[in-house]
Structure 1
Amino acid sequence: MFGIEINLMFIKNMFKKLYMMAILGASVACHATPGQPIKVAGSKNLEPDEQQAIVCKEVTEMITNYNYKKIKLNDSISTVIFNRYIKSLDENHNYFLASDLNDFDQYKTQLDDDLQNGELNHVFYIFNVYQKRYNERIKYSLDQLNKTYDFTQKDEFMFNREDQPWVSTVSDLNKFWDKRVKYDLLNLNLATPDLTKNKETLKKRYENLIIQSAKLNNQDVFQLFMDAFTESIDPHTNYFNQSNAAQFNIDMSKSLEGIGASLSSENEYVTIKTIVKGGPAERSKLLTVDDRIIGVAQGKNGEFQDIIGWRLDNAITLIRGPKGTTVRLKILPKGKTTTNPKIVELVREKIVLEDQLASKEIRTYNSNGKTVKIGIINVPGFYLDYKAYQAGDKNYRSISRDVKLIIDSLKAQKVDGIVMDLRQNGGGSLPEAIQLTGLFIKTGPVVQVRDVKNRIEQDDDDDPSIAWNGPLAVLVDRFSASASEIFAGAIQDYGRGLIVGTQTYGKGTVQSAIDLDKVIGNSFSRLLASVKGKSAPASTGTPTSFGQINLTIAKFYRISGSSTQHKGVIPDIKFPSAIPLDKYGEDTEPSALPFDMIARSSYTPVGNFAAVIPQLKTLHDTRMQTNVNYKNLLEDIADYKKRDAEKTVTLNEAELKKQHEEDDAKTLAHDNARRAALGLKPLIKGEPRTKDKDADFLKIEAGQILTDYIGLKPQS
């Protein structure tokens, strides 16, 4: 079995945090001896370290030798990596000057050699110029708050400059940032018409950006560049540094070892935002939401480290730790001053993220006067607590085990059908996709896998037991990917259930998570000597962690022989997609592998929906003609396309206020139309919108389609 199947959504969202910043300034031209850091005058220069050089070489070797795509680095690929790296820094062309890009041009075809040699000074130089520009831009923005603003002028701000040329002069870039500051201030003024107060709010916001910029370290730069490299080769081969690898594995297992509290950074304080029920933090009854952690000590006698002003990820690393170990926290209760902190001692435990596990609900429908009960199972990811599984823990959590228990409870409640909701499910464990499919079929192939040597392996469900043999539907959307597509594709190929929703993502590749500590550990001295160009390495101490690479090692295929790559799974009953198909999906990734097919597996379908699908579509379409939520969804999709094409926004207060009021009125009208259809009283302007279980009409409609099928089944 090939390792794990990577969670797509985790990867796509994980790195969009501190990196996307802004900068301006004069051109910085500077050259240095190869292998030496290139200094940027007037800037805090971040520099690569020896460990990063080693990781760079090792990851490059793995990708060029073992990645499924079998690609060799050359000047053409180097240019792609360079362009992606620049885009990740300044996608909107707001910060660099044209002269900066002219200076960087010398590295465009150099990066392939740099990667193979572990040379990182060039990419760090580019980032240091970027950070210099960023700080200059934010400081310039702060200075503009002293100006007098006229919001009655007819003027526009071009917020989307992605297709615009790089600005040539500082004065031209200043003109853009003048409007950027004015737009920020105008938005605050529309909410609260107090210009003095709003300027102070914006001042604090800009000052905080400078503070956060100062917290960036060389790991951030290295991670950003490695993202540009790996995603230029293959969108799903990824390198994770230590903290990101830890977060990835938490996402895969839906558990962590710690105190049972989520944290955020607010005004330089690490602040408790939520407390996990049943965890050490809750049971102590000594911590509450909005308490601030100002110091952390390990064990009963360790010295406290002051963490005020720390980056959140560094603070979390101190607070988390192996279960059974003790951590002491210096707590500043909400509203208290720093003169009176309290000490809280906690023993870390394994925390299961219950809110991210499979869950259920039962909905009732009417079919020709008969009540039909439909169980809806939310499947947020194909998680597996692999560490607990390896340790022999009989109670390890996995999606297939959790869903099996849920199905048993739904059967006890005598449901007539089950909807598996896989929307927003980016994947997870490949074995779990097979196990989950096995809950609905007797035995047989589930997925085919072709490795780098073109060997094809068929993975079967060998367990003859079936957890649910009744009516089944699978609800998917554009962000259903990877393991979700294996499951949905197998259910569709067997004719075991109806697939409803929108075309899925189209990720048909398999990744294996490789712990670089295990790979590099034994050869650390040899690699370090190679990087330094010496016969024997200097003493470097023990590295904290080399991180992890998730390497694409195979491609999976449906048992019908079709790949899900690019095309995804096409539903039997299609819903309109609120997620733009032309912006999100494997077919929008330039470096993605192509669609292809292999031979069909030997399997016997257990059902065929061909005869009833036209009837189900007719019933669905008829309902949607009078469905208020469906009408609103179509309008929202049209509005999104219109707004997405816009590149400018007015800076006239009256005009912008009118736009906001029209948008708010439309949203309120949509809400009240939905509430009227549910028999609820309308909301008035300004009244808070409450969540209700009937808001998700696509989920309700999936259950209705299955109910229709149950009604038609005796005649089919």
Structure 2
Amino acid sequence: MKKITFVLAPVLVLLSFITYSSGTLSHLSYDPNDSTTLRPKPFYGDEAKLITQILDTYHYKKIRLNDSLSSVVLDDYIETLDNNHSYFLKSDIDSFEKYRNQLDDLTKAGDLSAAYEIYEVFKERFDNRMAFVSDHLLNYDYDYTKDEYYNTDRSKEGWANNTEELNDLWRKMVKSQTLSLKLTDKEPDEIKDVIKKRYDRFDKAIQQYKSEDVFELYMNTLAEAFDPHTNYFSPRTSDRFKQNMSLSLEGIGARLQTETDYTKVIQVIPGGPADKSNLVHENDRIIGVGQGEDGEIVDVVGWRIDDVVELIKGPKGTTVKLEILPAETGVNGPSKEITLVREKIKLEDMKAKAKVVPFNKDGKEYNIGVITLPSFYMDFDAYQKGDPDYTSTTRDVKKLVKELEGKGIDGLMMDLRNNGGGSLAEAIDLTGLFIKDGPVVQVRSSANKIEVGEDEDPDIIYDGPMAVMINRFSASASEIFAAAIQDYHRGVVVGEQTFGKGTVQSMIDLARYMNVPEGEKVGQLKLTLQKFYRVTGSSTQHMGVSPDVNLPSAFDAKEFGESANKSALPWDQISSAKFNMTDKVSTQMVSKLNNDYNKRMKTDVDLKELVEDTRELKENLERTRISLNEEKRKQEMEEAENRKASRVSINGAKIDKEANKTPEDEIELDDQYLKEGVIILTDLISDIG
């Protein structure tokens, strides 16, 4: 194959930003001479000028930091500081308008005073809010019979007009938190202690912010205005990023991010304790962490993400307890405690795995080979040193396919769900195992130069019926592989629309271009330089890969995926590469598969339940309005728990009623999506004859 050796960065990168919720006061002034005021270090101006020059000159988007982008930066910076609209007043927002068309000129000139002034207003509002909680809300006599509500996500709501409105908002917010603790049978003094400690930690975290943190917040906001994968890393965050790349697979095996006051699970790493336990899932919210079997659960609502991560991480073999709000029951449901044993995820756990799934269709027995691929991995160091036994996705899959064929499989399923990407070279090589030869992906640079990644090996290791399973969290290299299999008509693609990340980034060490004062450090810039295109010429950016057969999805592209980012690069198209489609899958076959699937939607009990479960999960993810009435909240929690229990009992009945079990019930009863994929693949095999 024609080697393209850069690596597709994982879609979800853990950054440490302020995403705390809540604010008050009216007009404040920024005094750069005040010893209590955070001020930019002298060389930050030069660093800011360098960053803007690089962005203007080299970013793929070919746009410049101008008045239009200045307006975007202002709005996004305000949202970064107060994304839940609960600190700033409307009068503050109005006072920032003078900077709407000035941030571009100021930043290019190395003047960061506006960024620090806006932060200082936020800091004043924050201090005021903490005082209000301490002085008025800790001992407030809440009326839990009153019929009122609190919205946990205020990001789309307006700013408070005055202090009175903000006070009432905070009363409801703390009342909601207090009620949640009350419903876990905590005593009043215990509840007060938890709330006090929670806001003491809020306060401590912000009081510890330094000039470097404000500079990073602002410069990262500016970078992300170009596109969401262009980021500025301060020296400290840069060091942490490098550590995460090697240590992210230690602990419980989950990637986290902050969403309003909660720490949310955004990815469960295959092979880790969270994955193996099946107790932690994407979109679960972590609200408490405890150490050891008997350790006290520490409330982590409102904590900074890196502080939560530090609490969860620990030595291999030690125990951590988590209190979570499961995604399936949402913010209205009850919390649950789980216990996990920390461990370091071995490379073997991240490797491709294979199994044979039997299936009976119309009296005929099928054996389906399923290869689960968590990522596109490759040992670059060993490869560059010329080690003939270097670890490789393609090598592992090639070996697994031969083993499966030795067991007499009738079809092959490549399961790429939750595969966030990895080595582009491996995506190309892996595709080459299933096609004769030809282009797999096109890469366009910011200079409009197009490079084609090709499979030049005519050998095919598997020529039989195949399918690729994808979901919303399949991204980058996963999308390239799935798209190529689909474009070559080599197999059918089943599942959900993918993430839609079709861009490539490179890290730039800013220290190489600056004279940094002795004892000081500058950060790094992660810059988008290239874009991916399918062999048909269609970009994978934004649109991702649409499956041939769509399974029900709880994750809307506007909330989960590249389309959720307003600064994401657009979808576009270039000329098609020259390639020869196979005759393995025809348009007529895909149409028949969809017709068969739609017919089963009306009669298949399991499929109906999958659709219903997906609908309920989608509703729970969207539900942010919770009652502050104790009886209603109890009822909401019971209803959520009953819905969950009902689904469990239904699934349990399938397992217990041996006499009524059908062959279909043998397939991965706990993985309905895989079951549907296997059924669709057997339909394809039947159609092929």
Q: Return the alpha-carbon distance in structure 2 between the equivalents of residues 353 and 38 of structure 1.
A: 53
Whether 1:577 and 2:553 are equivalent positions in the alignment is: yes
- 1:51-130 to structure 2, matched below 5 A, reads 52-130=44-122
Q: Tell me the SS of whatever aligns to 2:183.
A: helix
Q: Tell me the SS of whatever aligns to 1:611.
A: helix
Whether 1:568 and 2:570 are equivalent positions in the alignment is: no
The residue number in structure 1 matching 2:217 is 224
Cα root mean square deviation, aligned:
3.9
Q: TM-score, normalised by structure 2?
A: 0.79
Q: Return the alpha-carbon distance in structure 2 between the equivalents of residues 203 and 541 of structure 1.
A: 39
Whether 1:466 and 2:463 are equivalent positions in the alignment is: no
Q: Return the alpha-carbon distance in structure 1 between the equivalents of residues 33 and 382 of structure 2.
A: 46
Q: Return the alpha-carbon distance in structure 1 between the equivalents of residues 620 and 309 of structure 2.
A: 40
2:634 to 657, 674, 695: 657
Q: Tell me the SS of whatever aligns to 1:191.
A: coil
Quote the offset at 1:392 in angstroms. 4.4
- 1:161-310 to structure 2, matched below 5 A, reads 161-192=154-185, 194-242=187-235, 244-245=237-238, 255-256=246-247, 290=292
Whether 1:541 and 2:519 are equivalent positions in the alignment is: yes
Whether 1:524 and 2:524 are equivalent positions in the alignment is: no
Whether 1:631 and 2:608 are equivalent positions in the alignment is: yes
Quote the offset at 1:100 in angstroms. 2.2
* 1:707 aligned partner, one-letter code: T
The residue number in structure 2 matching 1:301 is none
* Contact 1:5-1:428 within 8 A present in 2 as well: yes
Quote the offset at 1:180 in angstroms. 0.9
Q: Return the alpha-carbon distance in structure 2 between the equivalents of residues 261 and 642 of structure 1.
A: 28
Quote the offset at 1:83 in angstroms. 0.4
* Contact 2:25-2:128 within 8 A present in 1 as well: no
* Contact 2:437-2:457 within 8 A present in 1 as well: yes
Quote the offset at 1:62 in angstroms. 1.8
Quote the offset at 1:358 in angstroms. 3.2
Whether 1:416 and 2:415 are equivalent positions in the alignment is: no
Q: Tell me the SS of whatever aligns to 1:552.
A: strand
Q: Tell me the SS of whatever aligns to 2:656.
A: coil
* 1:207 aligned partner, one-letter code: D
Quote the offset at 1:55 in angstroms. 3.9
- 1:346-495 to structure 2, matched below 5 A, reads 352-495=346-489
Q: Tell me the SS of whatever aligns to 2:11.
A: helix
The residue number in structure 2 matching 1:514 is 507
* Contact 1:23-1:131 within 8 A present in 2 as well: no
Say if 1:133 and 1:216 are closer, same or farther in 2 by CA, change over 3 A: same
Q: Tell me the SS of whatever aligns to 1:361.
A: strand
* 1:433 aligned partner, one-letter code: A
Say if 1:445 and 1:514 are closer, same or farther in 2 by CA, change over 3 A: same
* Contact 2:554-2:618 within 8 A present in 1 as well: no
Q: Tell me the SS of whatever aligns to 1:468.
A: coil
Whether 1:674 and 2:651 are equivalent positions in the alignment is: yes
The residue number in structure 1 matching 2:11 is 9
Percent identical pairs in the alignment equals 38
Quote the offset at 1:490 in angstroms. 0.7
* Contact 2:86-2:166 within 8 A present in 1 as well: yes
2:578 to 584, 602, 606: 602
Deviations 1:262-288 (A, max 9, x none): 8999xxxxxxxx9x99xxxxxxxxxxx
Q: Return the alpha-carbon distance in structure 1 between the equivalents of residues 305 and 638 of structure 2.
A: 38
Q: Return the alpha-carbon distance in structure 1 between the equivalents of residues 445 and 399 of structure 2.
A: 34
Deviations 1:288-336 (A, max 9, x none): x859xxxxxxxxxxxxxxxxx99968998xx99xxxxxxxx9xx999xx
Q: Tell me the SS of whatever aligns to 1:442.
A: coil
Deviations 1:618-672 (A, max 9, x none): 3323333344453344334544665677664321111111121111111111221
Q: Return the alpha-carbon distance in structure 2 between the equivalents of residues 626 and 171 of structure 1.
A: 56
Q: Which has the larger radius of gyration?
A: 1
Structure 1 residues 628-637 or 434-443, which shifts more? 628-637
Say if 1:258 and 1:416 are closer, same or farther in 2 by CA, change over 3 A: closer
Quote the offset at 1:678 in angstroms. 3.4
Say if 1:505 and 1:110 are closer, same or farther in 2 by CA, change over 3 A: same
The residue number in structure 1 matching 2:297 is none
Quote the offset at 1:60 in angstroms. 1.9
* 1:128 aligned partner, one-letter code: E
Quote the offset at 1:560 in angstroms. 1.6
The residue number in structure 2 matching 1:326 is none
The residue number in structure 1 matching 2:687 is 712
- 1:681-692 to structure 2, matched below 5 A, reads none
Deviations 1:229-253 (A, max 9, x none): 122112222333445545656776x
Q: TM-score, normalised by structure 1?
A: 0.76
The residue number in structure 1 matching 2:593 is 616
* 2:441 aligned partner, one-letter code: V
* Contact 1:156-1:651 within 8 A present in 2 as well: yes
* 1:176 aligned partner, one-letter code: L
Q: Tell me the SS of whatever aligns to 1:503.
A: coil
Q: Tell me the SS of whatever aligns to 1:161.
A: coil
* Contact 1:66-1:452 within 8 A present in 2 as well: yes
Q: Tell me the SS of whatever aligns to 1:10.
A: coil
Give the count of matched residue pairs. Answer: 615
Q: Return the alpha-carbon distance in structure 1 between the equivalents of residues 570 and 168 of structure 2.
A: 44
* Contact 1:389-1:396 within 8 A present in 2 as well: yes
**Unmatched 5+ stretches in structure 2:** 257-268, 273-290, 294-302, 321-343, 659-666
Q: Return the alpha-carbon distance in structure 1 between the equivalents of residues 252 and 632 of structure 2.
A: 44
Q: Return the alpha-carbon distance in structure 1 between the equivalents of residues 384 and 47 of structure 2.
A: 27
Q: Tell me the SS of whatever aligns to 1:459.
A: strand
Quote the offset at 1:212 in angstroms. 3.1
1:501 to 469, 491, 495: 495
1:702 to 667, 677, 683: 677
**Unmatched 5+ stretches in structure 1:** 266-273, 278-288, 292-308, 321-328, 335-349, 529-538, 682-691
Q: Tell me the SS of whatever aligns to 1:198.
A: helix
Structure 1 residues 46-55 or 140-149, which shifts more? 46-55
Deviations 1:522-577 (A, max 9, x none): x422xx5xxxxxxxxxx42363xx44433222222211222223332221111121
* 1:678 aligned partner, one-letter code: I
* Contact 2:22-2:170 within 8 A present in 1 as well: no
* 1:100 aligned partner, one-letter code: D
